[in-house]
Chains A and B, each alone.
Chain A
Amino acid sequence: MASEVAGTAVPQAPRQLLARGAHPVRAFVVRRVATGLLTLLVVSILIFFATNILPGNVAVVVLGKNATPEHVQRLDAALHINGSVVSRYFRWLGDALQGNFGRSAVAEAEGRSNSSVSGTIGDPLRNSFALAIITTLLLIPLTMVLGSLAGIRAGRRLDHAISLPALVLSGLPEFVTGTLLIYVFFNLLHWLPPVALLSPGESPLSNPEALVLPVLTLLAVAVGAGVRQVRAGMAEVLQQDYVQFARLNGISERKVLSRYALRNALAPSVQIIAQNLQYLVGGIIIVESVFAYPGIGTYLVNAVTSRDVIAVQAASVILAALYILINLLADLIVVFLVPKLRTGMS
């Protein structure tokens, strides 16, 4: 099967290139980026209208009992929420493209001096990135190594020792895993703090101990899901004809794995890693809440709780954009990694 594809793909590529005139990889990249941008546009429309469905006025909701008509009018003007929904969307989109997400309705109502969403969302974003990057740096090698090991030893004891915990952990919601981890590492062992609080402006790296449990919680779910997929891919590759053929040729098992199997199992793994990173975008919302970590997830949950629509819009668009971006990058990386795919792109 695989040798067939490889055999027919090579002579076809130049012919296709000549016939189409344009470079297929470049055409693919352009088309894929355009699709990504279009998706983001549609998503931004959905987010904006979803947060504007409620018949009530933002100002009235936020001001609550203090809502005199005069107050509401002043807040409306400060937040630029006059006019029709459509005209507001375009004004919001234009501002957002320049990095201005408007002002937090709650901060404005409370008369805080720093009410700009762009100003207050920076720190949470940075904290979340720190958490996500540390998690990713551990996630990728762990997923690949554990998944490959389980795949190579499919059906044996090592496979079961890896696959069973992976199956259990990948299914559990983050707040359950996080709670159980807090119980073990805080209540029973007294090793780690149960929360990852930061004072405003403090760097998340200044207190690495507090990050251990949030990172472990994210890893438990993401690695669990990834390992199962990498294992399946590896086990499949090892049954291909060319691997059997390499073995029959007397090539050492180590070389068979490193030169034939691993390389071909790598391409689908990029998609698996991308799915895991996409998972992190959503998973971080819950994990930050479990550990009271001041990131973008906590910011979003607080905004939803206080019905701060403008802050909800900003955080949602940023998270959705990251989600789409990860997907886009994964598609591009796969095409550059696996020349075979380029022929099937027309």
Chain B
Amino acid sequence: MSTVAIGPGSARPRRRPLRAVTSDWGGRIGLTLLILIVALAVLGPAFAPHSTTVPVGIPGEGSNGSAALGLDFLGRDVLSRVLSGGRSTLLLAAAATGLTYLVGITIGLVAGYVRSIADPLLMRTVDIFLSFPALLVMLLFVTAFGGGRGVLVGAAALVLFPGVARIVRTATLEVSTRGYVEAAIARGERTFAVLTREILPNILTPIIADLGIRFSWSIILIASVNYLGLGLKPPTADWGLMISENREIISTNPMALLAPALILAILIIAVNLTGDAYLRQRGRSGSGR
């Protein structure tokens, strides 16, 4: 608030996102589950008892001594594939979220700070992207470029960046009129320095508050495309892909679908609980997807 702020960030107390999350039970449960699933996805492949690609028995066989979760539609070990199937989902979703924020923050900052013609132009573009169903954008992207990893990440970011851009723009508009920004401009700081050192550190709260929603959306969008068989190609072990691959054997070994479905469900609930806990502590949610 003070007009004689000395340096970046000194006007406000330091924010601790982790403390905000762990201050209530929803957040603690969410964060614990999230850490467990990330650990499972990262360390899981090392504990896989069998190969993820080589059949070890009769397709669709139920659980037995050597395969705790039974065998999938090609006779591969379900447990090994579940242990190995999280890396792709989490890595792609994390990359998509990162790209979403890179693009969203850049556009939001420019639109909110530079204004003039850039603002209406950028915001109308954002409006256009919001008038597509999210999954349709993903499918069009896959039609145009195929279902590679880069395409999945790019398409998810394309769906998700408009929401981030809007939130960042609104926050930038508000912060731009503060004394410390005007002081930085008066000192003759370059626009880039004003944006990254004065404005960005002071709009982090609404940006972090939005992180949970974007990450769970990234997981859902990428897993959905994989489920449709339009993303990662077999024989990749991937939770989304596994659910659709094993549809035929739901009567003989339902675990082949249930295990990846439940783990995806827990992952998404954990991300949402963590995000909600932060939201309850700090500020309000952004709009849109």
Contact = CB atoms under 8 A, between A and B. Distances in A.
Do chains A and B stick together as partners? yes
A323 interface: yes
A334 B92 CA distance: 40
Given A53-B144, A304-B143, A305-B229, A320 B131 contact: yes
Interface string A291-302: 000000000110
Nearest to A303: B143
Given A304-B139, A304-B143, 17 more contacts: A42-B128, A43-B128, A50-B144, A171-B216, A173-B224, A175-B243, A179-B243, A183-B254, A183-B257, A186-B250, A194-B250, A283-B135, A285-B136, A301-B228, A305-B229, A312-B140, A320-B131
A307 B136 contact: no
B39 to A, nearest CB: 21
Contact of B265 (A172, A286, A300): A172
User: How many residues of A sit at the interface, in one of the four size bands?
Assistant: 35 or more
Contacts of B268: 171-173, 176
B172 interface: no
A180 interface: yes
Interface string B212-255: 00001000100110011110000000001001100000110010
A47 B140 contact: yes
B272 interface: yes
Interface in B104-128: 127-128
A316 B136 contact: yes
Interface in A28-83: 39, 42-43, 46-47, 50-51, 53-54
Contacts of A281: 133
A176 to B, nearest CB: 5
A285 B135 contact: yes
Interface string B169-211: 0000000000000000000000000000000000000000000
A316 B230 contact: no
Contacts of B264: 173, 176
Contact of A187 (B144, B220, B251): B251
Interface of B: 127-128, 131-136, 139-145, 216, 220, 223-224, 227-230, 240, 243-244, 250-251, 254, 257-258, 261-262, 264-265, 268-269, 272, 276
B227 A286 contact: yes
Contacts of A50: 140-141, 143-144
Contact of B223 (A171, A173, A320): A173
A300 B133 CA distance: 13
A205 interface: no
Nearest to A281: B133
A319 B133 contact: yes
Interface in A186-237: 186-187, 194
Contacts of A286: 135, 224, 227-228
B25 to A, nearest CB: 13
A327 B130 CA distance: 11
B70 to A, nearest CB: 13
30 contacts: A46-B132, A51-B144, A54-B144, A167-B272, A167-B276, A171-B272, A173-B223, A173-B227, A173-B268, A175-B243, A175-B244, A176-B264, A179-B243, A182-B250, A183-B250, A183-B257, A278-B133, A282-B134, A282-B135, A282-B136, A285-B133, A286-B135, A289-B228, A300-B139, A304-B230, A305-B230, A307-B143, A312-B140, A319-B133, A327-B131
A168 interface: yes
B241 to A, nearest CB: 11
A287 to B, nearest CB: 11
Contacts of B269: 168, 171-172
A106 to B, nearest CB: 13
A176 B261 contact: yes
Contacts of A43: 128, 131-132
A286 B231 CA distance: 14
A309 interface: yes
Contacts of A176: 243, 261, 264-265, 268
Contacts of A300: 136, 139
Contacts of B265: 172, 176, 180
A99 B203 CA distance: 48
A179 B261 CA distance: 7
A285 B220 CA distance: 14
A324 interface: yes
A39 B131 contact: yes
Contact of B128 (A46, A54, A172): A46
A335 to B, nearest CB: 19
Contacts of A309: 143
A46 B125 CA distance: 12
A171 B141 CA distance: 24
B128 to A, nearest CB: 5
Contacts of B131: 39, 43, 320, 323-324, 327
A121 B229 CA distance: 22
Interface string A86-120: 00000000000000000000000000000000000
A195 B209 CA distance: 39
A289 B229 CA distance: 10
Contacts of A172: 265, 268-269
A176 B216 CA distance: 14
> What are the 6 tightest A-B residue pairs by CB atom distance, in nearest-first order?
A282-B133, A53-B144, A173-B220, A282-B135, A179-B261, A50-B140
